[in-house]
Structure 1
Amino acid sequence: MAESIRVERRDDRVVVTLDRPQVRNAIDRRMVDELHEVCAELERDPKILIITGTDGVFASGADIAEMIERTAEDALAGINMNLTIRVARLPMPVIAAVDGYALGGGAELAYAADLRIGTPRAVFGNPETGLGIIAAAGATWRLKELVGEPMAKQVLFAGRRLNAEEALRWGLLGEVVEPDELMPAAHRLADRIAALDAAATRATKAVFAAPRDEHPRVDLEAQAVLFESPEKRRRMAEFLERRARRAR
């Protein structure tokens, strides 16, 4: 049974709530392991994943009380890095619903999501260099893809934090809503995704993530599979029927 997260399972989505409020949802090894268990489940049975926090905090970072004892061997094992890579590679889209602080490893978990929404209290930052380490769970490459290299360097080199308004302006957040609307907004976004063809969504995510030199081959191969699917035929037939009705 999970101790550091709460998991809600629905037909088309899974909601994970980071739940270590006593340490502001700091990410320790137990939480990493429990999130890996959720990832394994979603790899077997692909669904949308929503990740959120508790008590006005997404995640304050990696658990420093645990990190201080980690060694070079632990660093090379990529404990947190492997989690964010796995989250990013899940077959269906991942939504991070961010209220309050998303710092350090918490920010990197949010960066690994496909879509992020937040509240006016959301704050993103990577203070790792102030602790004598680097942001080694994906921020050094994901953040510049999300906000551009100059701003990423501000965050990573100079400890700049991005509030919700800045995160929205720089594209890190897609939407900002009041705290009591955060989860309804996350579910509305999940509803929009769930209304589309799951196979086409999975293929789109996989092709989107493919290296540049694999295009257009991967696009055409994925499209070839979808062109033969019954769901494609059904959805296109319904589209044509709707258009015909409007034309009458």
Structure 2
Amino acid sequence: MSAPDPVLLDTGNFTTLKITETSDRLHAQLNRPEVRNAIDATMITELHAVCAHLEHHPKLLILSGTESGGRGIFASGADIGQLRDRGRADALRGVNSSAFERLAKLPMPVIAALDGYALGGGAELAWAADFRLGTPEVKIGQPETGLGIIPAAGALWRLRELAGEGIAKEILLAGRILDAQESLNHGLLNAIHPAEGLLDAAHALADRIAKQDPLAVRISKQVFSMPREAHPQIDNLAQAILFESEAKFERMQAFLDRREAKAAQRPDQPSGENR
């Protein structure tokens, strides 16, 4: 029996994620439909395995849900049964937050394809992505304070950055659940697509990203996440790296060659005497 390809993730022991992987992307489908894709400790472990793989083999990541009861669902939140039994030590370990933060810092962009409910930890998983596409049936919110806790896996600071303080406080402190159009209006979704076309739209976005220079995309993502105080110095250092890359010379030369070819195909402009 041949050894597994090191460029492909070994998913032989996975039970909560379905993985599809190609040369430039990995699709991880949350797969606990019996509990509406509630995020449990096993799913967190498998998300860490996905992150470890993509840290060593940078690729685009698409996250999506599955169907539950005939309807699409991304993730209904953390597994309340497990959450109820967690104590102070578990909170200090940051069970979910460590995985979501690791996902947010992956070298290549992450696309979340949301259908149905994305609540609690499911919403926080989506906030950690670089892009969020949704269906008209999406419902997004953070109901944690109604359960006597806070959303401690990123929502308390990512939501303000993504949507602004006003709507963030409505979601976090008043339990407001947003529909798809409201989410789009507040910048929490990049676009809305019919459920049957959601994954196609996610892959189309991944295709557009894949056409860019991978190193330029990786560095752009890293520089984008730096604090304001790091700019413009970090931009200059990053550009210095890219100015010496082989891809920069090849891509710019190809651009100049195409422009020259187009110019050669245009008919000569008439002279002033013939106007």
Counterparts of residues 32-51 of structure 1 (less than 5 Å): 32-51=44-63
Counterparts of residues 46-57 of structure 1 (less than 5 Å): 46-55=58-67, 56-57=72-73
Partner AA of 1:146 in structure 2: L
SS of the residue corresponding to residue 59 of structure 1 reads: coil
Partner AA of 1:43 in structure 2: E
Task: Find 1:145's aligned residue among 161, 164, 186.
Answer: 161
SS of the residue corresponding to residue 19 of structure 2 reads: strand
SS of the residue corresponding to residue 137 of structure 2 reads: coil
Deviation of 1:116 (Å) = 0.4
Deviation of 1:60 (Å) = 0.3
Question: How far apart, in 2, do the equivalents of 1:123 and 1:92 lie?
Answer: 27
- Greater shift, 104-113 or 211-220, is seen at 211-220
Q: Does 1:120 align with 2:136?
A: yes
Counterparts of residues 210-229 of structure 1 (less than 5 Å): 210-229=226-245
Question: How far apart, in 1, do the equivalents of 2:118 and 2:262 lie?
Answer: 47
- Write out per-residue CA displacement over residues 185-244 of structure 1, whole angstroms, 9 at most, x where no aligned residue: 000000000010000000000000111111111111111111111110000000001111
Question: What is the aligned partner in structure 1 of residue 270 from structure 2?
Answer: none
Partner AA of 1:155 in structure 2: I
Question: What is the aligned partner in structure 2 of residue 92 from structure 1?
Answer: 108
Question: How far apart, in 2, do the equivalents of 1:158 and 1:48 lie?
Answer: 35
Deviation of 1:245 (Å) = 1.4
Counterparts of residues 1-248 of structure 1 (less than 5 Å): 1-55=13-67, 56-248=72-264
Question: How far apart, in 1, do the equivalents of 2:185 and 2:166 lie?
Answer: 14
Question: How far apart, in 2, do the equivalents of 1:45 and 1:217 lie?
Answer: 28
Question: How far apart, in 1, do the equivalents of 2:139 and 2:252 lie?
Answer: 43
SS of the residue corresponding to residue 186 of structure 1 reads: helix
Deviation of 1:247 (Å) = 1.5
The RMSD of aligned alpha carbons is 0.5
In proportion to residue count, which structure has more helix?
1
Question: How far apart, in 2, do the equivalents of 1:178 and 1:50 lie?
Answer: 17
SS of the residue corresponding to residue 202 of structure 1 reads: helix
Question: How far apart, in 1, do the equivalents of 2:191 and 2:135 lie?
Answer: 8
Partner AA of 2:166 in structure 1: P
Unaligned stretches of 5+ residues in structure 1: none
Deviation of 1:14 (Å) = 0.3
Question: How far apart, in 2, do the equivalents of 1:122 and 1:86 lie?
Answer: 25
Question: What's the TM-score once normalised by structure 1's chain length?
Answer: 0.99
Question: How far apart, in 1, do the equivalents of 2:35 and 2:129 lie?
Answer: 23
Question: What's the TM-score once normalised by structure 2's chain length?
Answer: 0.90
- Write out per-residue CA displacement over residues 147-200 of structure 1, whole angstroms, 9 at most, x where no aligned residue: 111000000000001100101111111110100000000000000000100000
- Write out per-residue CA displacement over residues 85-123 of structure 1, whole angstroms, 9 at most, x where no aligned residue: 001000000000000000000000000000000000111
Partner AA of 1:123 in structure 2: K
Question: How far apart, in 1, do the equivalents of 2:139 and 2:258 lie?
Answer: 45
Question: How far apart, in 2, do the equivalents of 1:229 and 1:67 lie?
Answer: 48
Deviation of 1:246 (Å) = 1.6
Deviation of 1:78 (Å) = 0.3
Say how many residue pairs are matched. Answer: 248
